[in-house]
Structure 1
Amino acid sequence: MLSLKTTWTVSAALITLALAACGGEKAAPAAPAAASGAASSVSVDTEKKDIKIGTTVGDFGDMVKESIKPILEKEGYTVTLTEFTDYVTPNQALAEGAVDVNVFQHKPYFDSFIAEHKLDLVTGFQVPTAPLGLYPGKVASLNDVKEGSTVSVPNDPSNFARALVMLNELGWIKLKDNVDPLKASKADIAENIKKINLVEMEAANLPRSRQDVDFAIVNGNYAMSSGMKLTEALYQEPSYAYVNWGAFRTADKDSKWAQDVVNAYKSEEFKKYALVKFAGYKYPVEWNIANNGASGSGPAAPVAASTASAAQ
């Protein structure tokens, strides 16, 4: 687990759940991690004018700094950004009140995390999301895959499942029939057709792994924050189930400031900015804009726009 730019302590039990689905302007004050199983009981101020947003490092933070913060400042708010370097702390920070809204996770991960830790959180809006992609490592083409090829993959359950689905789509492995694609695991591999050697590691380390493996399956936010280009991907997942969401404490979701945050992310100003800055991303479903990501190469290029809807 990489260290945070903020001073946090996270238990080993939480780390094992780390997702997929990304230094702040001002670090949130240090706070003890909430005990597992404890629901949030943070008091709310519906007239507040200071909004603390937590994101993972990279594109979601850039969206805040370059567009969302200026939009909210026009409405009279003071916006503080904290960028985290793991997928566990942002939900704990939100539940504890260290941040007011977080943006970093897809719905399958959110649902699993809050159920496991009994946090009183709710999703509020979708955000443009760089899709999971398979990138070249020591091998530059899908056609050059061979028996025993090494593929680095995210080690958290949610993104590991996505990686398996991608390898199944490529025809490199075969998953069992009727497997839930959101929960696929090693036990669901019916046949390892290409004898792929899966190298599991924390999602943030995947970009650096490319020099040591034949291929790397990298989360979009980490690909972008490490200087990789979406157009470098040899294959991208077509599903829209992993478009990421912003989340609030349930007690805050109907407050004026929370709705102003939602409106900022749904505004035409933000949409125009995102379509230029984040070309190739998967966009919120309600935008009705097809994915413009890399079309892939080789015999298993993905569909440009999936008909699958986002998980609700």
Structure 2
Amino acid sequence: MQLNTLFKTFSAAALTLALAACGGEKAAENTAASAASAADQGAKKEIVFGTTVGDFGDMVKDQIQPALEKKGYTVKLVEFTDYVRPNLALAEGELDINIFQHKPYLDDFKKEHKLDIVEAFQVPTAPLGLYPGKLTSLDEVKDGSSVSAPNDPSNFARALVMFNDLGWLKLKEGVNPLTASKNDIAENPKNLNIVELEAAQLPRSRADVDFAIVNGNYAMSSGMKLTETLFQEPSFAYVNWAAVKTADKDSQWLKDVEEAYNSEEFKAYAHQRFAGYKYPAAWGENAAVGAQAEAASTASAAK
């Protein structure tokens, strides 16, 4: 083969290889772009929140929704007036996340109903409080006084612990405060008449009973104030949690939601709008708040 012909042959081969390489790189780029596009299209853009009416819904509307919309999400809010439907709606896929419950309630509910849901992060929570009804101070309690209390097991247990702390009744030694029931009452020296009601009915019950133990979110949504309480539970075991389906616990959208709830902007809003609440443990503020609440409750009980 002549040198000129050999040179042409090698040149053609080199050109073919170069074109093939460029084509391969272009194909790889196209494949990567397609994959990125598919990922973008598959990323969650709408988040459906479920809360009880009142403070938890207000938190979403006032702060969380705007923060998430800045990140490109669409936010929808569904508000409930009970403690049963939000978890069922979450498990059934009607919601992406719900915010209304403490962990003992979530644990009991998902076990009873066999739901594949899990806690995600804590949110500011109004404490359970004893509010005046027909009687306006703790020292007015008398034999046979009536007190309304939430009828779901976990919150009723909280009410019993509060009565025990007040000295209005005595629980059995060694009882689990998270699961206490009427069967765990050892003594009822004041013959308290405990009226069990749906939590949403408790604010209105004050006209018919001497005292009422009211869940914080329903107290606030009814226009009641934390400063009206005659006694508050000091425990932080009942700070509320967001809940999601277990499959979503590591999702990016949930990380973005949690980031919004733990942002400095949200903390400033919560401190101003929801003063007196118990805050997420992640904020590192509960020691001081707990000391203040316990001191206030002790002072009220001593009156």
Q: Distance in 2 between matches of 1:46 and 1:137?
A: 53
Q: Residues 246 and 97 of structure 1: is their aligned pair in 2 closer, same or farther, counting only changes over 3 Å?
A: same
**Helix, strand or coil: the match of 2:87?**
helix
Find the counterpart in structure 2 of residue 300 from structure 1: 301
Say yes or no: does 1:94 pair with 2:95.
no
Post-superposition CA distance 1:255-282 (Å, at most 9, x none): 1111111111111111111111100001
Shift of 1:46: 6.2
Q: 1:210 aligns with which of 206, 212, 229?
A: 206
Q: Distance in 1 between matches of 2:298 and 2:44?
A: 50
Say yes or no: does 1:169 pair with 2:165.
yes
Say yes or no: does 1:139 pair with 2:135.
yes
Q: Distance in 1 between matches of 2:42 and 2:160?
A: 43
Say yes or no: does 1:191 pair with 2:167.
no
Say yes or no: does 1:154 pair with 2:156.
no
Q: Distance in 1 between matches of 2:208 and 2:93?
A: 40
Find the counterpart in structure 1 of residue 223 from structure 2: 227
Q: Distance in 2 between matches of 1:202 and 1:260?
A: 34
Q: 1:81 aligns with which of 33, 56, 77?
A: 77
What is the RMSD of the two structures over their aligned residues, measured on CA atoms?
1.6
Find the counterpart in structure 1 of residue 282 from structure 2: 286
Aligned residue identity for 2:301? A
Find the counterpart in structure 1 of residue 178 from structure 2: 182
Say yes or no: does 1:269 pair with 2:270.
no
Q: Residues 206 and 169 of structure 1: is their aligned pair in 2 closer, same or farther, counting only changes over 3 Å?
A: same
Say yes or no: does 1:128 pair with 2:129.
no
Shift of 1:300: 2.1
Find the counterpart in structure 2 of residue 243 from structure 1: 239
Maintained 8 Å contact 1:46/1:256: no
Shift of 1:99: 0.7
Report how many aligned residue pairs link the two structures: 258
Aligned residue identity for 2:200? A
Post-superposition CA distance 1:180-221 (Å, at most 9, x none): 000000000000021111111111011001111110000000
Aligned residue identity for 1:178? G
Q: 1:117 aligns with which of 113, 117, 136?
A: 113
Q: Residues 46 and 120 of structure 1: is their aligned pair in 2 closer, same or farther, counting only changes over 3 Å?
A: farther
Q: Distance in 2 between matches of 1:293 and 1:231?
A: 11
**Helix, strand or coil: the match of 2:207?**
coil
Q: Distance in 2 between matches of 1:49 and 1:277?
A: 29
Maintained 8 Å contact 2:121/2:242: yes
Q: Return the structure number with greater helix share.
A: 2
Aligned residue identity for 2:96? D
Maintained 8 Å contact 1:203/1:222: yes
Shift of 1:71: 0.7
Shift of 1:301: 5.9
Mind listing any 5+ residue stretches in structure 2 that lack a counterpart?
1-40
Q: Distance in 2 between matches of 1:202 and 1:114?
A: 19
Counting aligned pairs with the same residue, the percent is: 70
Q: Distance in 1 between matches of 2:213 and 2:83?
A: 17
Post-superposition CA distance 1:18-55 (Å, at most 9, x none): xxxxxxxxxxxxxxxxxxxxxxxxxxx96111110100
Maintained 8 Å contact 1:230/1:293: no
Higher Cα Rg: structure 1 or 2? 2
